[in-house]
Structure 1
Amino acid sequence: MVILTGKTLTLDEVKQVVFKKESVSLSTGAMTKVLENRYTVEAMLTEKKTMYGINTGFGKFSDVIIEDEDLDELQLNLIHSHACGVGEAFHENISRAMLLLRANALSQGHSGVRPVLIEQLINFINAGIHPVIPEQGSLGASGDLAPLSHLALALLGEGEVYYQGERIETRYVLQEEDLPPLTLKAKEGLALINGTQAMTAVGVITYLEVEKLLHQSEYVAAMTLEGLQGIIDAFDQDLHQVRGHQEQMDVAERIRHILSDSKLTTRQGEQRVQDAYSLRCIPQVLGACWQSALYAKEKLEIEMNAVTDNPLIFSEADKIISGGNFHGQPIAFAMDFIKLGIAETANISERRIERLVNPQLNDLPPFLSPNPGLESGAMIMQYSAASLVSENKTLAHPASVDSIPSSANQEDHVSMGTIAARHALQMLQNTRIVVAIELICAMQAVEYRGIERMASATGKLYEKARRIVPSITKDRVFSTDIEKLTDWLKNCEASDVRENILKGRGEAYERS
């Protein structure tokens, strides 16, 4: 059970709720805070104080005063009018993460909602009811208005949800679960949609996947080093310590331990003096990729426990303040930065694929073909990898440098943070395919060298991956192999790839 306080949610807890379907509840302390701030909202309504979005219109309509009898309708109209999302729906996991993050943000109490609203979010999580939320339509300031409006629709019994593997109208699911639809009161519609939970949810899911893929890419790169009889000296501890980047040192340490008992790596001068950069500079490049990921992690962990709607209620000071915590710039920058690391993980992986298949760059069979000429082997796998790498370079363009005014220029600077997060996730999916292709090629190369000479760690990876994709003994439809191995990399636990490594030397894993 994950207990929401509004301030203490961790990435591991998000992982447990989203992927392991852990249940959620609201802490007693948070409930007290929520009630206190709701009383403040209702008291100020009684006093006829003017409060943005509570008894006024929204955006450019903020100067329009709303009559008391229309306050509830105002909130419902807000949800209906703002549910303008377009495009494909977010994956169900992202929808679940959005429910969790919104419930956590509201749990701090500063949004002024009733406890019943947070309870509805939690009921959806615990019952596995996940709103169908279109991916496109958010500018990333004034919050993720369109996506969160679709989330809110489901709480009201409208729209569609994913439930028990089906996409179905929400009203039928609420009947099945005996859950009454929520009726919005003053402030509550605005509190639901004024926030950064779409971009943050996509960002968190992306980070968790990037973390796993970076570890996997290190293992695959280590196997490629064996397939190409790479020079292990380039990973020497002294070499990396004098530069001083911790993530670079960590990657080098992990590669050294992964390959500690390999008989396929070489020493400086045995076959060549230096390897190409895509082999020699693995710690420098992947270390920098880790830096971009860890920066994003830091900002996401803050945003997961942030109050990001407007206006905010501070009952202890008896005040309601209009501000701009909904602006997604911190997450927009973070997701644009992590995109660089994702792009370069794929980029350097594709360059290693080229070195594995190009007969001018190695002494392996051309394109790893079992019958060169008659059979093309891995030739076109490299094409596919190159295509994905090029696509990533386009997607890596920073979304956060763009801004388009909205709401009659009242909202004249926006973050495009949700676009940045969506592109990061798309790039992650492309990069996983590239790493899968490298693994297919690396396995073929080490077979040529002699799998009995592999390191214990890469040998275990080889055994597990070979259960998914058999050896290339003749040409076949390799698209199927790539898809199967990509799915395996996505779904396997990180421990499946890094099992039994760094026994008693876990510092580098703890740091990353």
Structure 2
Amino acid sequence: MQTPVFSLEDVSSILYSGKTIDMASLPLDDVEACYEFLKKFAADKVIYGINTGFGPMAQWRVDDKHLKDLQYNIIRSHATGAGAPLDDTCVKAAMIARAGTLLQARSGVHPDAVRLLVQFINRGIFPFIPEHGSVGASGDLVQLAHMALTLIGEGQVHYKGQWRDAGEVLRINGLQPLQIHIREGLSLTNGTSVMTGIGIVNQFMAERLLDWSIAAAVWINEIASSYDDMMSEELNAARRHEGQQHVARCMRKLAQGSQCLRKRQHELYDSSHRDTTTFEHKVQAYYSLRCTPQILGPIAETLACSRRVLEEELNSACDNPIVDPVAGDVLHGGNFHGDYISLEQDKVKIALVRLAMTAERQLNYLMHDRINGILPPFLNMGTLGLNYGMQACQFTATSTTAECQTLAMPNYVHSIPNNNDNQDIVSMGTNTALLTKRVIENCCQVMAILYIALAQATDCLDIAAQLAPANRKTYDEVRERCPKTVDDTPFYREIDSIEQYLKSHDPIKDIQAQ
């Protein structure tokens, strides 16, 4: 099996750290060898998409004099997307995924197609790709057609913050539009690269949100002065799920140095309470505090599975037909079908809805004085009745979580036949990835409100100095962006500021780096 061209870590570096793709390191010789094989192999054979029409039109052979026109036609005819353009990060990830497919040397494209695509990635040239158009089989035909359209010098690109004609930007960069050789039109438009690119972006943010959720679980248990055995190695090892044990390990690392968490054996197992009939402090915390390893563990395992599937798809030949120069054959099938990505994105979406729900319940614990028993209503540090504290922030978190719950319905099951019933069962994978992206954005907003509330609760109890060092660092970072609130004030700017902070930091990677 061929060595993977890109890892998810490579993609992260390209998307977020300014890394470029080294053209010299790419297996372009293999791509050229595949192209040369196909050129000879196809000379006297009928091969789908080279000398036949596409989809239901495959029953019609195309005259040799029109073969190049055939490839241009699929690009131009399928650039029919609608809606808002995908953001630059998702477009860049999709281009990397498309390069990953072509570099498997199973598509038969000329190496120039890969070279130009990599130039777009490295130079920050982002094709206009609308959100709507893909049914997820034959992959992302419509959206990939928009990408291909710019490679042939047509359509629009987002370049240096402006929408410009693709041909103009090619000229500015000294690049030539892609020339069609054999099947570049079909290979550039056929496959799962857009849903994969969006899924990869989703993956990075979902993993970060999970880490923030784990850190929030430790912090809220510090506020509640919970007993720490709910995160103990022994308790969590008694249940065999790796995700649960991973979450508990992370919680123990984050909790190191805390002066707020209690030891059950010091307070309840020392026989000093033999005659006590009522305990003022809760013997066991509420589920949203105590059961976080069990709640977040399945989310961790879901994201681990999604990561594996995305990396495999990133390094897969996902168009049709597949060219096999080693076996000397061209194979027709359905590697473009997006079921792998669609199902995983639904699973990630459902998992992140659960994460948002957990954050909302933890927020409710902080807001509800009759539940927590230690904090003022709505974390109000002003005058009760005159001031409102964070009351309205909870409205936003609750409504946003409710929208997430509505979006939790699996999209993978929503196949609608089309294309003269040639595409009689489809994945809807790109729609699924976009819905997952929406849930992740919502979850970021709920998490931002939770973190403001955690800092406010810490100030209500005046325990910042007693927090675990990892959470004290986060408290300081939050307070730099959102000062303690006594008088009523609008929170919308602070919520946005904390949201951006959460998107650009990772508390568990921070402690691992120390």
TM > 0.5 fold call: yes
- Of 4, 19, 22, the residue aligned with 2:19 is 22
CA shift, 1:185, in A, is 2.6
> Hey, what does 1:506 align to over in structure 2?
none
1:462 paired with 2:475, answer yes
> Hey, what does 2:401 align to over in structure 1?
389
> Hey, what does 2:272 align to over in structure 1?
none
CA shift, 1:500, in A, is 3.6
1:487 paired with 2:484, answer no
> Hey, what does 2:446 align to over in structure 1?
434
> Hey, what does 2:122 align to over in structure 1?
126
Correspondences of 1:98-497 after superposition (within 5 Å): 98-268=94-264, 271-362=281-372, 363-370=374-381, 371-450=383-462, 451-492=464-505, 494=506
RMSD over aligned CA atoms reads 1.6
> Hey, what does 1:80 align to over in structure 2?
76
Measure, in 1, the Cα distance between the counterparts of 2:13 and 2:161. 19
> Hey, what does 2:271 align to over in structure 1?
none
CA shift, 1:265, in A, is 2.3
Measure, in 1, the Cα distance between the counterparts of 2:9 and 2:465. 38
1:12 paired with 2:24, answer no
Does the CA-based 8 Å contact 1:228-1:356 persist in structure 2?
no
CA-to-partner distance for each residue in 1:333-362, whole Å, 9 max, x for gaps? 111111121111110110000000011112
Measure, in 2, the Cα distance between the counterparts of 1:352 and 1:44. 63
Does the CA-based 8 Å contact 1:335-1:420 persist in structure 2?
yes
Does the CA-based 8 Å contact 1:6-1:30 persist in structure 2?
no
1:51 paired with 2:47, answer yes
CA-to-partner distance for each residue in 1:205-261, whole Å, 9 max, x for gaps? 110111111111211222222222223221122111101111211211221232232
Measure, in 2, the Cα distance between the counterparts of 1:277 and 1:64. 63
Measure, in 1, the Cα distance between the counterparts of 2:207 and 2:117. 28
2:326 match: secondary structure: helix
Does the CA-based 8 Å contact 1:85-1:147 persist in structure 2?
yes
Measure, in 2, the Cα distance between the counterparts of 1:301 and 1:19. 17
TM-score normalised over the length of structure 2: 0.93
Does the CA-based 8 Å contact 2:356-2:443 persist in structure 1?
yes
Q: Sequence identity, in percent? A: 34
| Greater alpha carbon shift after TM alignment, 345-354 vs 211-220 | 211-220
1:51 match: secondary structure: coil
CA-to-partner distance for each residue in 1:181-203, whole Å, 9 max, x for gaps? 11223211000011100110011
CA shift, 1:267, in A, is 4.0
Measure, in 2, the Cα distance between the counterparts of 1:475 and 1:230. 30
Report the CA distance shift for 1:433/1:396 in structure 2 as closer, same or farther (over 3 A).
same
Flag as ranges the 4+ runs of structure 1 deviating above 6 A: none
2:371 match: secondary structure: coil
> Hey, what does 1:509 align to over in structure 2?
none
CA shift, 1:36, in A, is 1.9
Does the CA-based 8 Å contact 1:264-1:449 persist in structure 2?
no
Question: What one-letter code is carried by the residue in structure 2 that aligns with 1:366?
Answer: P
Measure, in 2, the Cα distance between the counterparts of 1:192 and 1:63. 22
Question: What one-letter code is carried by the residue in structure 2 that aligns with 1:219?
Answer: A
Measure, in 1, the Cα distance between the counterparts of 2:475 and 2:126. 38
Gaps of 5+ in 1: 504-512
Question: What one-letter code is carried by the residue in structure 1 that aligns with 2:336?
Answer: F
Question: What one-letter code is carried by the residue in structure 1 that aligns with 2:164?
Answer: I
Question: What one-letter code is carried by the residue in structure 2 that aligns with 1:342?
Answer: L
TM-score normalised over the length of structure 1: 0.94
Question: What one-letter code is carried by the residue in structure 2 that aligns with 1:73?
Answer: D
2:59 match: secondary structure: coil
Measure, in 2, the Cα distance between the counterparts of 1:191 and 1:501. 42
CA-to-partner distance for each residue in 1:6-26, whole Å, 9 max, x for gaps? 733101100111112311134
Gaps of 5+ in 2: 269-278
CA shift, 1:33, in A, is 1.7
1:62 match: secondary structure: helix
Measure, in 1, the Cα distance between the counterparts of 2:180 and 2:25. 23
Question: What one-letter code is carried by the residue in structure 2 that aligns with 1:488?
Answer: Y
Does the CA-based 8 Å contact 1:292-1:340 persist in structure 2?
no
CA-to-partner distance for each residue in 1:112-139, whole Å, 9 max, x for gaps? 0001111110111121111111011100
1:399 match: secondary structure: coil
Does the CA-based 8 Å contact 2:356-2:401 persist in structure 1?
yes
1:87 match: secondary structure: strand
Measure, in 2, the Cα distance between the counterparts of 1:500 and 1:35. 46
1:139 match: secondary structure: coil
Measure, in 2, the Cα distance between the counterparts of 1:72 and 1:186. 7
CA shift, 1:91, in A, is 0.9
CA-to-partner distance for each residue in 1:269-298, whole Å, 9 max, x for gaps? 571111110001011111111111111111
Does the CA-based 8 Å contact 2:5-2:26 persist in structure 1?
no
Does the CA-based 8 Å contact 2:5-2:103 persist in structure 1?
no
CA-to-partner distance for each residue in 1:455-491, whole Å, 9 max, x for gaps? 1111111011111111112111111111111011112
Does the CA-based 8 Å contact 1:223-1:446 persist in structure 2?
no
Question: What one-letter code is carried by the residue in structure 2 that aligns with 1:95?
Answer: V
CA shift, 1:172, in A, is 1.6
CA shift, 1:42, in A, is 1.6
